[in-house]
Amino acid sequence: MVTSGAIIELDAAIEMRDGVTLHADIYRPDKEGECPVILQRTPYDKRTAAAVNILTALENGYAVIVQDVRGRYRSGGAFDTFVNEADDGYDTIEWIAEQAWCNGKVGMVGGSYVGATQWLAASSKPPHLTAIFPRVTASDYHEGWTYQGGVFQLGFNVSWGIRLAAGNADHLGRELGLSDQRVTELASTVDDIDSAFWVLPIDQQPYMSAQTSPYFFDWLNHPADDGFWSRIRIEDRHDDIETPAYNLGGWYDIFLMGTLRNYINMRENGGSEKAARGQKLIIGPWSHSTIGQSVVGDEDFKHQATATGVDLDLLTLRWYDYWLKGEDNGIIDEPPVKIFVMGENVWRDEAEWPLERAERTRFYLHSDGRAHSPSEHGVLSVEAPDEERPDVFLYDPQAPVSTLGGPLCCGGDPLPDGPKNHAEKEERADILVYSTPELEEAVEVTGPVTVSLWASTSAADTDFTGMLLDVRPCGCAVNLADGIVRARYQDSRKRPQHIDPNLPKRFDIDLVATSNVFKKGHRIRLEISSSNFPRFARNLNTGLWADSDQIAVATNTVFHDARHDSYLELDIVPR
């Protein structure tokens, strides 16, 4: 079909090395000669999920190809998350390069799983993959995608798992021989995701089965970082990847950890000088579902945070004009890092990440054993503790701390993401609150955020959570970053360790990163608890996992004294 200066070929058949046929929609300029190609490989329906403005790309001389990945929508085979994307990406790219209208240079675009299809394709080193532009995606599909700190990312995994099956109901119906009624039921499961979070045992999900959602049960069956995950881990392949990448992320994105690690590791250990030098990073104030939008959660970051304000479409085209057309447009010589500094709400170019000029600073936890509310009893200070009473709280898995905003996926009900006011929530007795005094001058925090916590539990296992917040003069406590660690996975994600009840132990909680100016009169705050549900699966405090519904209440203790110096660690940028 030829229309408006474009040639459109729908459902083009592309055969993979094992004989499975995948289908793609091809849009290319109606002109003589060869052109570069921008490829998107998606599990979200190629007809509705284009990650690049197709008309703009055509006008600039690019062909655009959007392909359903294996087992999704119009493509054949069975969908097995991540497993086939390296080989299928390779075969698709090399098929494209063989077409008479292709100039032999292929780039890729897209975010989330579509970002994963880019990195996995790059790891297979197809000769004609020239550059990629992955958005909001991971570097490790165990740590930072399915689990974090050893804890199952329940909110994401359940909602994504259900939506994957529901969106693909017609395809599954054909492949599995499901009745029309079952297909209709499968498509409607998205209407009741919230109730699925509370299901115990977790592996008894009413809306997913090993038949329709085998990947979900695979994830549950591999809580440790074993060979199931290493076969698809991008981080392990960075030193062999030779593809330049423009990495885009958001401070409130669920995969921020992976975006940063992909940039840092490729910059330091990429498979070639071209790949290492060809790494770029841009981090906005966005969540997973609000890339290029100004309103994130309850905050409005104004026009400069929008796709128009930062001109994401032009950025993408400039990237590919350089790599796919060979235009010397200067993008490769620009500073490699661009970050949005919240609080001041401005973009800033940087020479590296993390920032070399930042000063790593410890804020020690203090209290008189009464840090159970946002009073002055829980204090953050650069002064190390002496002898102090610990803080003790009860964690009951039947009444967990409710998730309120943060780095979630994928927007809207039942889990709205981004910055929210946590002041009311902090009145709970199972949340410990530590704050600085009101700041006498503005303090910029830009970089990794970690918590080193001395703690103990009365249970066979438990979790510890951390959250960084900006407390404003109005009393609003706005979340910036959060993290979690499961006690039995503190020392090793590969081999769970026995926990000695009531014995103090150091726990490291990775809150990933942020960039925020705490203004004069604001306070820096840290929350400590043992749950953030349903963002993370509840620890039932028994040491048992997905096939158990046994619950125990834990008495958890946080220490902060001369022998047990618990602290929040931040990168402070001199101003």
Q: What is the CA radius of gyration of the chain?
A: 24
Catalytic residue, candidates 171, 288, 377, 522: 288
Active site residue 222: no
79 touches 168 (CB < 8 A): yes
Task: Report pLDDT for 4.
Answer: 59
Q: Could you say which of 3.20.20.70, 1.20.140.10, 2.60.120.260, 3.30.465.10 is the CATH number of the domain covering 359-573? A: 2.60.120.260
DSSP string, 374-404: SSSSSEEESSPP-S-PPEEEEE-TTSPPBP-
Beta bridge partners of 22: 14
Running DSSP on this structure, what letter comes out for residue 181? H
By DSSP bridging, strand 63-68 and strand 295-296 are unpaired
Cβ neighbors of 302 (< 8 A, separation 6 or more) are 294, 309, 345
Catalytic residue, candidates 68, 88, 253, 430: 253
Exposed, middle or buried by CB within 10 Å (0-12, 13-18, 19+), for 419?
buried
Active site residue 530: no
How big is the chain, counted in residues?
575
Instruction: Kindly report, as residue ranges, where domains of CATH 2.60.120.260 are found in the chain.
Output: 359-573
Count helices and strands (H / E) in the chain: 13, 26
Task: Report pLDDT for 410.
Answer: 77
CA distance 83 to 219: 13
Strand order in the sheet with 6-15: 2-3, 6-15, 21-29, 63-68, 35-42, 102-111, 129-135, 245-252, 279-287, 337-341, 346-350
Residue 162 CA to its chain's centroid (Å) = 18
By DSSP bridging, strand 432-435 and strand 523-529 are antiparallel
Cβ neighbors of 426 (< 8 A, separation 6 or more) are 373, 374, 433, 477, 527
CA distance 197 to 202: 8
Kindly report, residue by residue over 140-188, the tens digit of the pLDDT: 999 999 999 999 999 999 999 999 998 888 888 888 898 889 888 888 8
Closest CA to 511 of 454, 570, 449, 566: 449
Those residues of the chain that have pLDDT short of 50 are 2
123 touches 86 (CB < 8 A): yes
Kindly report, residue by residue over 229-244, the tens digit of the pLDDT: 999 999 999 999 999 9
Catalytic residue, candidates 25, 91, 112, 377: 112
Q: Could you say which of 3.40.50.1820, 3.40.50.300, 3.90.1170.50, 3.30.160.270 is the CATH number of the domain covering 2-143+229-350? A: 3.40.50.1820
- The pair of structure tokens assigned to 235 is 């981080």
Closest CA to 476 of 428, 419, 539: 419
339 touches 347 (CB < 8 A): yes
CA distance 89 to 128: 11
pTM score of the predicted model: 0.96
Active site residue 112: yes
Task: Report pLDDT for 412.
Answer: 63
Task: Report pLDDT for 183.
Answer: 86
Instruction: Kindly report, as residue ranges, where domains of CATH 3.40.50.1820 are found in the chain.
Output: 2-143+229-350
